[in-house]
Amino acid sequence: MIIKNVKVFTEEKKFQDGEIAIADGVFVQEGKTSDAPDCEIDGEGCYAIPGLIDLHFHGCKGYDFCDGTKEAIEEIAKYEASIGVTAICPATMTLPVDELAGILAVAASYKKKAGQENPLGADLIGVNMEGPFISVEKKGAQDEHNIISCDEEVCRKFLDASEGLVKFVGIAPERNENALEFISRMKDKVNISLAHTNADYDTAKAAFDAGAVHAVHLYNAMPAFTHRAPGVVGAVSDSPHVNAELICDGIHIHPSVVRAAFKMMGGDRMILISDSMRATGMPDGRYTLGGLDVDVVGNYAALSSNGALAGSATNLMDCMRTAVKTMGIPLETAVACASANPAKALGVYDMYGSITPGKKGDVVLLDKDLNLKMVIKDGIVIG
């Protein structure tokens, strides 16, 4: 396959006029395809970007990852690929330990046959465990009845059940006096993130110094960033090895705060996520998240019980557009934060996240207004 007349997004985070060659499902150097390529596409001057990677979302099209069925994962993967998200790392909710282990086992089983049974769906490349080791004070839309302190034995149970799929485990370090020991013992087995935490600056900074490397949806479900109490946000800023998720749906974070985060921490550490729930891609109405009722109107998803934000109803491609078109983030930066940065955080940059020879042939074409024109996965046009 040859895709001609496109503005190719490079590893240097720049757009360069050129063409893209794909053979046997992977990107190859120009001229390395056969003399008569099986497919030639005129990109009509579109932006050509890597397939996006959402490393924190819950569901879409009426399904949730925590439904715990292969059907749910399959339908989620199909939808995500159709809108240009070609690799996914869904997030769990705070549920009973055995239920979570079962969900992870289903995901591991799905992944073994996904290439044959769902080849045009987004690749399942990880799981992001948002719960259950979180705080009651910042539980958000999580069910506090299932919250527990971080526990090494339970964490190992999750890792074993997922057969290596779990890439992030979130904790609230202030909940457990042994949190730093937990981090130091588990950091070489899985990425430790701070999630739904009420930690102050010193506690959060100590967790990052101990080896935590990730912050779940920065600004949301954590203490406010103020001039005398900078909290988790300040600790992230002072920890150069830590990546931070941002929900740029226009609901969760004010555009000025998004711009401030990029200025404070730099684009290399920012990861755009959707945090989407099962209502994404569906009509307004009442849905569930982690067993709790959620009312959705437009892009706004809130718990029916108390109005607290409950994930988003926006996919990652739309979040990326919002970051560029209404928040003032340069397109080149936003694309990297939705492709290369999550790939690096997940440890899969060798195969995903850039249009580079040898990597999976996942590419998305966007017109000058960032409208989706084509999705190509593994060298096959799927939409």
Q: Which residues are catalytic?
A: 275
Sheet holding 123-124, edge to edge: 52-54, 85-88, 123-124
Rounded Cα gap, residues 32 and 30, in angstroms: 6
Give CA 342 to chain center in angstroms.
Answer: 7
Q: Give the span between the Cα atoms of 52 and 352, in whole angstroms.
A: 9
Extract the tokens encoding 96.
Answer: 């009973």
183 and 158 Cβ atoms separated by less than 8 Å:
no
Neighbours of 333 (CB within 10 A): 19
Is-contact 151 90, C-beta < 8 A? no
Strand duo 26-28 + 292-297: pairing: unpaired
Cis peptide leading into residue 96 (ω within 30°): no
Phi, psi of 334 (to 5 degrees): -65, -40
Between the alpha carbon of residue 64 and those of residues 59, 72, 331, the distances in Å are 4, 6, 30
Contacts 24+ apart (CB under 8 A), 60-63: 60/276, 60/277, 60/278, 60/280, 60/281, 60/282, 60/315, 61/278, 61/280, 61/281, 61/282, 62/278, 62/279, 62/282, 62/287, 63/278
Q: Which two tokens stand for residue 327?
A: 């928040």
SS (HEC) of 279-341? CCCCCCEEEEECCEEEEEECCEEEECCCCCECCECCCHHHHHHHHHHCCCCCHHHHHHHCCHH
Decide: 105 and 336 in contact? Cβ < 8 Å: no
